[in-house]
Amino acid sequence: MADVIVIGGGLTGCATAYYLAADGVPVTLLEQGDLNTQASGSNAGSLHLQIPSEPFRLLGDHWARAFSPALRLFTGSLEMWRGLSAELGTDLEVKLRGGLLVAATDEELALLERKAAIERSGGADVQVIGRDELRALAPYLSERMIGAAFCPVEGKANPLVAAPAYAAAAARLGAEVRRGVRVTGLRRERGAYVVATDTGELRARRVVNAAGAAAGEVAGWLGVRLEMRAASIQVSVTEAIEPLVPHLVYSAGRKLTLKQNGLGQLLIGGGWPARIDARGRPVADPDTLAQNLGVALEVVPRIGPVQVLRTWAAYVNGTDDWRPLIGEVPGLPGFFLCYVPWLGFTGGPAAARIVASQLQGRAPALDVDAGAFAVAA
């Protein structure tokens, strides 16, 4: 019987396997396809801390206050990202040069002020700056931007390398990483879990559900209903240009994230919806792409002549209230969730560290009240 089986070879699953293996816990990771082929390898690589402005606009201050304990998770995760390349022995291209959530109107600036007050009360370093300070900090931005919320610890990393680096480090420490094994069912039997797969049944004392957009289905096999959903969204990459945008840039009023990677390419996204093809696969939508590029151009006009090379789409794991679902599921001893909706690239390392600690009955080695994220029964 395995001690721990982790379902899912995205960032959260690979990181959980790594932290367990590093603590000497025998662990097997099962991935239905290849590692890092879903959200974790398809995302925009933004490392966020600020509360996203879109749900803030839609759901309001009350929601933001309820969400704000999660800021400790993201703060802890950003701190982990800082040292991750050295720890895993791979350059993850982590750059934490600050994030600018820009405002084009007085109304947007007022929204940022209200949001920043909640963020600061949740321990996040977010300051709202005016036009002159913004111009000095980010001269590449449009003069139409009248201010921004600046968070100095935000940034970016390379999503193509992070999860594989975790998996390789886990394997070096003795974790068994199995690709091409699809979990098809899960049941509890005599105090253990029977994990049915397309290559036969396995038994484990503990199971971590790190299945991303499929986590709801996996939990459902044990009768747990979770309000999770998957949304298809897209990101674009441009040709390489001279260094222009050192920050993570996003917009208070419209969907946008924009940053420049280590090769000089711009990554442009922000959660614009993609289409779903006849076989249920996400595919890029040219209409929303045009809107996304329009917003990017309004914020950084100098990118006008830059060519977009490719747009891709993937399912992102979400929930309506955006709160992470991390921890042992009540009533199912040994069954853990490791699920960070919408922002799982940022929060994956901390979520995985918390779950790996909880699995060993230890408080997480992070200044995070893990109880704040425990799943409800």
Ligand X SMILES: Cc1cc2nc3c(=O)[nH]c(=O)nc-3n(C[C@H](O)[C@H](O)[C@H](O)COP(=O)(O)OP(=O)(O)OC[C@H]3O[C@@H](n4cnc5c(N)ncnc54)[C@H](O)[C@@H]3O)c2cc1C
Query: Does 316 participate in binding ligand X (rule CB under 6 A)?
Result: yes
> 230 and 343 in contact (C-beta within 8 Å)?
no
Q: Give the residue, chosen from 30, 78, 112, 329, that forms a contact with ligand X under the rule CB under 6 A.
A: 30
| Interacting span for ligand X (CB under 6 A) from 28-36, 110-118, 324-332, 355-363 | 28-36
Which residue, 38 or 109, has its beta carbon nearer to ligand X? 38
E strand or H helix at 356:
helix 344-359
Q: Which neighbouring-strand residues pair with 316?
A: 231
**Of 357, 309, 322, 320, whose CA–CA distance to 336 is shortest?**
357
Stretch of 21-29, 143-151, 228-236, 321-329 contacting ligand X, by CB under 6 A: 228-236
Q: Which is nearer to ligand X, 109 or 296 (CB)?
A: 296
Residue type for position 267: L
**Residue 40 within binding range of ligand X, rule CB under 6 A:** yes
Residue among 109 and 254 whose Cβ is closer to ligand X: 254
* Token pair in block for residue 347: 């929060």
- Interface residue with ligand X among 182, 203, 310, 362 (CB under 6 A) is 182
- Rounded CA separation 29/17 (Å): 7
Tell me the three state secondary structure of residue 257: strand
Q: What is the DSSP letter of 69?
A: T
The single residue among 348, 355, 359, 364 that binds ligand X, judged by CB under 6 A, is 348
Subset of residues 194 to 213 that bind ligand X, contact rule: CB under 6 A: 210-213
Helix (H) or strand (E) holding 238: strand 228-240
Q: Is 42 in the site for ligand X (CB under 6 A)?
A: yes
- Interaction between residue 78 and ligand X (CB under 6 A): no
CA 29 vs CA 26, 93, 273: distances in Å:
10, 25, 31
Judged by CB under 6 A, does residue 46 bind ligand X? yes
CA distance linking residue 231 with residue 27, whole number of Å: 30
Nearer Cβ to ligand X (109/316):
316
What's the number of CA atoms in the CB half-sphere (13 Å) around residue 366? 27
Cα 37 to the center of its chain, rounded Å: 14
Packing angle between helix 11-22 and helix 344-359, nearest 10 degrees? 30
Residues 6 or more apart whose CB falls under 8 angstroms from that of 311 comprise: 234, 235, 236, 237, 284, 289
Fill in the amino acid letter for 43: N
Residue 93, phi then psi, degrees to nearest 5: 55, 40
Considering only the stretches 110-118, 146-154, 325-333, 339-347, report the one whose residues sit in contact with ligand X under the rule CB under 6 A: 339-347
Say how far apart CA 75 and CA 73 lie, in whole Å: 6
- Total residues binding ligand X (CB under 6 A): 43
C-alpha 83/C-alpha 104 separation (Å) is 35
- Interacting span for ligand X (CB under 6 A) from 32-40, 114-122, 199-207, 368-376: 32-40
Number of C-beta neighbours around residue 86 at 10 A: 11
Restricted to residues 152-171, the positions that interact with ligand X (CB under 6 A) are none
Extract the tokens encoding 243: 């260094």
- Binding segment for ligand X (CB under 6 A), chosen from 18-26, 133-141, 188-196, 340-348, is 340-348
Out of 249, 314, 356, 370, name the contact with ligand X by CB under 6 A. Answer: 314
Interface mask (CB under 6 A) for ligand X, residues 249-288, using x and -?
--------x-----------x-------------------
- Compute the least distance from the CB of residue 13 to ligand X, in Å: 5
Query: What does the alpha-carbon distance between residue 225 and residue 218 come to, in Å, rounded to a whole number?
Result: 10
- Candidate segments 118-126, 140-148, 291-299, 344-352, binder of ligand X by CB under 6 A: 344-352
Nearer to ligand X, 104 or 316 (CB): 316
Answer for which of 11, 129, 204, 355 binds ligand X (CB under 6 A) is: 11
To ligand X, the closest distance from the beta carbon of 187 in angstroms equals: 14
236 binds ligand X (CB under 6 A): no
Q: Does 344 bind ligand X (CB under 6 A)?
A: yes
Q: Which spans of this chain sit near ligand X (rule: CB under 6 A)? A: 7-13, 30-33, 37-40, 42-46, 48, 182-183, 210-214, 233-235, 257, 269, 314, 316-317, 340, 342-346, 348
